[in-house]
Structure 1
C-alpha cells in the first residue's frame, strides 16, 4: 500500500510529519502524514517546477477550493492546504481501505447488494458535488476508497464549476478513458455537466458488478470511440442479480419483498439509464436516493454491513498497520543543503540530506540512525548497488577516481529482438554512430558510451527494460521505445526518475492524454500525418470527392487517422464520402463498389498494410486510377507483397525520411554504409539526429568534466531547438509534444517505397 520515504523526500510538510509514500505521478507525490494531534492524512505535494507555472498553480488552487466546497460524508474531507507554498500541498483525511479498483482486481466483482449500496452513497456524494455547482469529471474506480462505513470519493483535480470554460483547449479530452461520458470523449466543453458524472458513475458500477469496464480495455483512442458509438458490455450482471434474488427467496427469512415494488429498481436497468448516450436521458444524483435505490438506505449516524468479508479484511489489516506505525523522529534537512542538491542520479542529494540530518543535533539518536541507514540502503538498492556505491564514494572521497574517468552514457530502449527489431536495430545503429562521432572529437569534455535495453516490443517487458537504464546512474538520457504500447507502459516510470526519454517512433493520441515531465516526442504525431493527407488532397486541382475507408481491424489507429483526415478535408470544403468496415473483413469488394458508385475520384484508406493490400487489388480490378493515399502504417513490406502491381502509385505519409534520397543526409548515409555495410534503415537518421540534439545540450551545460544532471537536462532539452539532417527539432516546454512538421511523402514505384520529399504543411 505504501513505500518508504526516499532520502530526498522532506521530513514534514505543513505541520504533517511524513511517514511514507502512498504514490507518485508526473506532477507530484502523495505522502502518508501525521499531524501534531496524531491524525493521519494523505498529503499531496506538487513539484516545485510546476508550482512556478501560473496556470498550474491556479489549477491546483481550484482543486483545493473545489474539494472544500463538498461536505458529503461520502467524499473525503480536506484537512489542510497551502496552494501558495513553494511546493503547494493539499491534505485530506486518510482512508486505510483499498480503492474500488484494487478491491475488484484482487477479489473480483462485488455482490449485487454491495454495488447497489455503493451506487447510492456515491450518488449522495455527487449530489453534494453538483449542489456546490461543480462537476467532478473523473469518477472512476481508482478515485473511490472503500471503508467499512461506506465509500469515499476523492481527487477533485479536474473538477470544474458548471459555468466555467474548458480546463485547457476546447478540443482536449479531460478525464479517464473508459470511465468518461460521450460528451467528454468528444470534448464538447460546456456540454460536460452533472449528467456526465452520472454516466461515469454507471461505468464505475458496471465495473464493480462485472469486474470489467463496460467499454472494454485497450488504448485511449479505442475507449473513446466505443464510448461514443458502441453499447456498453453489461453481460452477466443481470444473471448475477437473478441468482441473488433466487437465493434470497429460497433461504433468507428477512423480508426482501419490495425490491422491485417499493420504488427500487434492478441494477441492470439502473446501469442502462446511467449509460444513456443522451445526457437528458440519464437520472440525476438526487433521483438515486429518492426514486431508484431507496431500499438500500444507510442508517443516519450508523454503519451498514455492505462489503464482502475479504474486502473488510483488507481494511482491517491496513488499519492495524496504521496503528503500528513508529513515532519517527523528524530528520529535517538544512534549507541550504536542499537548495544545492542536484537531481537524483548525481549522488549529491542523498549526501546533503544525510549530512544535514546528522548534524542538526550533533548526535543522531538510535531511531534516527536506523532511518539514515535504511535510507542509504534504499538508495543503493534503487540505483543498482555497486554503481551507487561508486557514485557515493567518488563524492565522499577526494582521493578517488580522477576527474573525467567516469564514462557517461546514452541509453536506447527498443525492440531489438521482436517483430519490430528491424526498426529498433536501425535506431540503435544511428544512435551508436552519433556517440562514436562524439567520442572522436579531440576536445570533448568527457567520453560517452551507448547502453541498450531490449524490450522485445512488449508492453509486459518494457518496464523491466526501463528500470535497467534508470538504475544506471551513468545514463543521462534514453532514446526509445519502439511503439505506443511500450511507451504507455514506461512513460510514468521514466517520469518518476526524471530521466529524459526521447522517442522518434511513437506518435499515438494516447501520449497526449497526460502531461509527462521527462518525455520528448521527436516526430510528428499520427494525427498530423493523417492531416497532411487532407492537405495534399485539398491542394489538388478539380472538384475532388474523396472517399474515406476506415478499417476497424486497425482499431484506434484507423479511427484517429480517419478523424484527422476528415477534419482537414471538411475544413477546406471537401467533406469525404466515409465508409467503415468491421474488423477482419476479408471481402472488401462490396464497400469499394459502393464508394465508386458514389462518384469518388480519390481514395483514402485508414488502417494497416494487409487491409490496404485488399483494397488496392479491388480498386485495380475496377480500373480506378485516381489518387490513392494512406498513412504511415501501410509502409510495410506486407503491402507490397500482397498488393503486387496494384500497389503502384499509392502515396503514403511518414514521420521519417529516406536519407539516401536527401542531399543533407549524404554524408550520414556514406558514413553509415562504411560503418555497418548497409544502407540506413527507417528511423536510423532520426535516431542519429535525436542523439545529436542531446549532445548539443550536454555540451552547452557541461561544467568542467561533469555534464548536467537528469533533471536539469530535461529542462534544457524541452527549451532547445536543433536543425538536424532529417528536420528541425522542437517541442512544447510544458508537455514535450513535438511542434515541428517533419512529414514526408513516399510513393510506391517499381515495387518499392520511393521517397518523394517533404509533405506540404498548408494549402
Structure 2
C-alpha cells in the first residue's frame, strides 16, 4: 500500500512567525481579548483557525492560536490539540518557544506561545543565501539541544524543517509541536499516512513506517535542515512529492557545498538506518562553538538587520488600554489552595523583542570543547566564579551592597580553608536598579562560562528583565529579595534556574493577614491596594484577601490609583465602615501618607505593611506617625540570631560595622552554592552549571540565618517555610518581633 500525501495532523501550522510589520487588523468578528491576552491584530489564518498577536497586561507578546469552533467538533480534534499543548509544555529548553497559556477544552480551543519577531531559517536562507559554517554550527548546536529536551520529555517532534526554526540574535528557537507525538504513542492518523514535510523527512517517515519513527527521525530531519542552511537547498532536491519521498528513501543526499568541518556529522545524521545516526546530545557536543566572539555575530549582518527591523516594528504596536483591578473581585470565589497562590499573577514568558545578546554560554556548555578544540582561557585551569547581580548605585543600593558584602564574606570564608578543593572568585555586575540595564548586567555574568551561579538581582523588575539571560544559559540565579512570583518557574518555561530564598509577594500578603488575625481582635480589617507598583500591590492584596477568607473575616477593601494624596478621605471612609485594623498594600510614599492620615484620624488599630515599606525612608518621612506600625520583611536582623554570632563578628572585622539586613541571607545562599560546587569537585569533576539548579532546589540547607528549603519544581521557597519576619516601629527604629504565623488562628478571639 502506497503512503498518502503528507499531512500535518493538526492542519496548516499556525504560529507567530509572520512579519510583525505586516500585522493585519482585527476583523469585526474577532474577539478583542482571549483569556487575559489583549489582541493587537492578526498574524495569519488558515483552514484550522487564526493566529493573533496578543499582549498581556504586563506587556509580554504572544502568538495566540485559536481554532475554529466547527473544527473543535470534529472527531479526535480536541485530542490532537490537547496533545500538541501537552507536548509543547513538556519541553523545557531555552531553544524551544514556550507555551504561555492554553485551553484545549474551550469552545474554540486556543494556545499561546511566546512571540519571536525574527524570520524563520527558511526565510533567512531564501532572502540572504546560505549561512557561513560558524553560523550553521551554532544553529545546529542550539536546535540539537532543543531536540535533546524534546526527546528527554519522551516526544518526537516529527516536523523539524527550516520553517519551524525562528532566528533571533541570541539564538534560534524551535517551534510548532502540532504533529509531535509521544514515543510509542498510538497515532491518531491512519498508519499509512506520511506525516511531516517532504524533503525534511526521515526514510521511515517517507515510507510511513510508524513503528520505527522515533528520536532518530528528528536527527535525520536536523541533518536535512543543516544541509539546507549551509548550501541554500534541501539535500534531496525539490519537485513532486513522490519524487522527494523516493529520493529520501533510496538516494544519497547531495551535500555539495557543505563545509568540510560539517560533512562527516551530516552524513551520520542522514544515515538511512536510524540506528546509525547520532543522538541529539551527541550532535550538540560535536557542534559546540568555542569562540562565540561579539554579541550578535553568530548570524550574517543582513539577517541581523532583518531581525532588528522586525524587532523595531514592535515599538509601533498599539498600547493596551489601562484597566482597573478591584480589591474584592475575587470575593465569593472558592479560596484557592496555598500552592495555587504561587501562580496567581503569573504572566507569559518574558520576551525581549530586540533579541538577547551573547547567548553563547548555553550553546557551548561549561566543559572543554568535545570536538577537540581547547576551551576558553585559561587553558589549563578553569576558574570557579560566583556572580552577584545587584543594585549598587541606584535606589536600592543599600540592599544591593549588603548582598554583595554577604557574598564576598562567604567567598572569603571558603577560600580561607586549607582543605578547599578549588579557589572561588567573585564577579559583580551592577544593574543600578534600572530594569533597562538589567539584561546587559545579567549577560555580563552569563556570558562568562566560568560563572557557575549568581546571587541576585536586588529588585523585582530588574530580576524580571534579567530573566531571559539566565533562562538561556541555565545559570542558577538565587535571590533573597526579589519576591515577584513571575520569577519562579511557571507554565511557559521561564525562571528555569531561579531559586527564591524569600517569600513571594502573594505569600507575604497572607502572612500579614495571618499576623493580624492572630494578634488582634479584628473583625473588619481594612485592606488598601495602592497601584504605583500594581503587580506588587495586587499580589499582596490577593494574598491578604485569601488569608482573611480562610479566617472567615470580611475586610473593608479599597483600591486607589497611583499618585493618590488624599488618604485622609479614603481612610476616613473605611473607618466609617467599621475598619478596626489596616493592611497597606503599596509602596513607601503612599504608606507615609497613610500613616499621617491615620494618625490625624486617631486610628488605634493595628497598622501593617510589607516588604517594600521596610526601609529607613518610611521611618524618616512618616516620623512620629510611623510609631506602632508593623512591617513584614523577608529578612532577619543578624545581630539577634544566636547562631550568627561568628558571622556578625567576621563582618565587623571585615567592614567595621554590624551586618545590614539581607547580608546574612546572601552569605547563607552563596554558602549553599559553594557546598554544591564542592560536592561536584569531590566527585572528581567540574560541575556543569546547567545542571546545578535542580540540585540546589533539592538541597536542605541550615545557614547562620536559619533553614532554607525550596520547591524542587518552581524554585520558590518551600511550602510551610513562612519566611516573613515581623518588625514594629518603636522610637524611630525597627524592633524585631517574630516570624509571621503560617496560618490563621484555630480559634478566633472575639
Taking structure 1 as the reference length, the TM-score comes to 0.56
2:214 is aligned to none
Q: Give the Cα separation in 2 of the matches to 1:492 and 1:663.
A: 39
Choose the corresponding residue for 1:580, options 541, 559, 563.
Answer: 559
Choose the corresponding residue for 1:714, options 689, 693, 701.
Answer: 693
1:505/1:523 contact within 8 Å kept: yes
1:125 is aligned to 48
Q: Give the Cα separation in 2 of the matches to 1:406 and 1:375.
A: 18
Q: Give the Cα separation in 2 of the matches to 1:158 and 1:560.
A: 36
Q: Which has the higher helix share?
A: 1
Deviation at 1:552, TM superposition (A): 1.9
Confirm or deny that 1:369 pairs with 2:260: yes
Deviation at 1:668, TM superposition (A): 1.3
Question: What SS class does the counterpart of residue 631 from structure 2 fall into?
Answer: strand
Q: 1:415 to 1:524 in 2, by over 3 A?
A: same
CA offsets, 1:545-577, max 9 Å, x none?
A: 211111122312111111110110111111211
2:389 is aligned to 413
1:235 is aligned to none
Q: Give the Cα separation in 1 of the matches to 2:588 and 2:706.
A: 26
CA offsets, 1:465-498, max 9 Å, x none?
A: 2222122222111111111212112222212212
1:737 is aligned to 716
Give 1:368-447 correspondences, 5 Å limit.
368-371=259-262, 376=289, 378-379=291-292, 406-447=382-423
Confirm or deny that 1:677 pairs with 2:568: no
Deviation at 1:157, TM superposition (A): 13
1:722/1:728 contact within 8 Å kept: yes
Q: 1:593 to 1:435 in 2, by over 3 A?
A: same
Q: Give the Cα separation in 2 of the matches to 1:157 and 1:695.
A: 47
1:143 is aligned to 63
1:501/1:519 contact within 8 Å kept: yes
Deviation at 1:536, TM superposition (A): 1.1
2:741 is aligned to 760
1:510 is aligned to 486
Q: Give the Cα separation in 2 of the matches to 1:380 and 1:474.
A: 16
Deviation at 1:435, TM superposition (A): 0.4
Q: 1:118 to 1:483 in 2, by over 3 A?
A: closer
Q: Give the Cα separation in 2 of the matches to 1:120 and 1:392.
A: 41
Confirm or deny that 1:462 pairs with 2:438: yes
Q: 1:737 to 1:725 in 2, by over 3 A?
A: same
Q: 1:450 to 1:374 in 2, by over 3 A?
A: same
CA offsets, 1:443-473, max 9 Å, x none?
A: 1111111111111122221222222212222
Give 1:215-230 correspondences, 5 Å limit.
none
Confirm or deny that 1:318 pairs with 2:299: no
1:100/1:141 contact within 8 Å kept: no
2:628/2:728 contact within 8 Å kept: yes
Give 1:247-326 correspondences, 5 Å limit.
318=123, 321=126, 324-325=129-130
Give 1:518-667 correspondences, 5 Å limit.
518-540=497-519, 542=521, 544-667=523-646
Q: 1:415 to 1:570 in 2, by over 3 A?
A: same
Deviation at 1:586, TM superposition (A): 0.8
1:289 is aligned to none
Q: Give the Cα separation in 2 of the matches to 1:161 and 1:326.
A: 34
Deviation at 1:416, TM superposition (A): 1.3
1:725 is aligned to 704
User: Structure 2: which 5+ runs fail to align?
Assistant: 1-5, 32-39, 53-59, 66-77, 91-97, 149-225, 227-254, 264-285, 295-357, 746-750
Q: 1:406 to 1:325 in 2, by over 3 A?
A: closer
1:90 is aligned to none
CA offsets, 1:204-247, max 9 Å, x none?
A: 9xx9xxxxxxxxxxxxxxxxxxxxxxxxxxxxxxxxxxxxxxxx
Deviation at 1:194, TM superposition (A): 2.8
Choose the corresponding residue for 1:473, options 428, 449, 459.
Answer: 449
1:489 is aligned to 465
Give 1:64-143 correspondences, 5 Å limit.
68=9, 70-71=10-11, 73=12, 75-76=13-14, 98-99=17-18, 101=20, 103=22, 122=45, 125-126=48-49, 142-143=62-63
Deviation at 1:324, TM superposition (A): 3.8
Q: Give the Cα separation in 2 of the matches to 1:742 and 1:100.
A: 46
1:749 is aligned to 730
Choose the corresponding residue for 2:107, options 179, 183, 194.
Answer: 194
Q: Give the Cα separation in 1 of the matches to 2:530 and 2:690.
A: 42
Paired residues in the alignment total 497
Give 1:51-66 correspondences, 5 Å limit.
none
Q: 1:141 to 1:580 in 2, by over 3 A?
A: closer
1:552/1:607 contact within 8 Å kept: yes
RMSD: 5.0
Deviation at 1:374, TM superposition (A): 9.4
Q: Give the Cα separation in 2 of the matches to 1:314 and 1:698.
A: 40
Confirm or deny that 1:701 pairs with 2:680: yes
Q: Give the Cα separation in 1 of the matches to 2:132 and 2:661.
A: 58
Q: Give the Cα separation in 2 of the matches to 1:101 and 1:624.
A: 55
Q: Give the Cα separation in 2 of the matches to 1:574 and 1:664.
A: 38
Q: Give the Cα separation in 1 of the matches to 2:121 and 2:401.
A: 51
Give 1:344-363 correspondences, 5 Å limit.
none
Deviation at 1:590, TM superposition (A): 1.3
Q: Give the Cα separation in 1 of the matches to 2:51 and 2:438.
A: 42
Q: Give the Cα separation in 2 of the matches to 1:423 and 1:558.
A: 20
Taking structure 2 as the reference length, the TM-score comes to 0.57
Deviation at 1:727, TM superposition (A): 2.8
User: Structure 1: which 5+ runs fail to align?
Assistant: 1-38, 42-66, 77-94, 130-139, 146-155, 169-174, 208-310, 340-356, 358-363
Q: Give the Cα separation in 2 of the matches to 1:627 and 1:158.
A: 55
Q: 1:760 to 1:471 in 2, by over 3 A?
A: same
1:535/1:568 contact within 8 Å kept: yes
2:279 is aligned to none
Q: Give the Cα separation in 2 of the matches to 1:661 and 1:157.
A: 58
Deviation at 1:113, TM superposition (A): 10
Question: What SS class does the counterpart of residue 625 from structure 2 fall into?
Answer: helix
1:722/1:729 contact within 8 Å kept: yes
Q: 1:196 to 1:700 in 2, by over 3 A?
A: same
Q: Give the Cα separation in 2 of the matches to 1:711 and 1:370.
A: 27
Q: 1:549 to 1:540 in 2, by over 3 A?
A: same
Deviation at 1:761, TM superposition (A): 1.3
Q: Give the Cα separation in 1 of the matches to 2:709 and 2:121.
A: 52
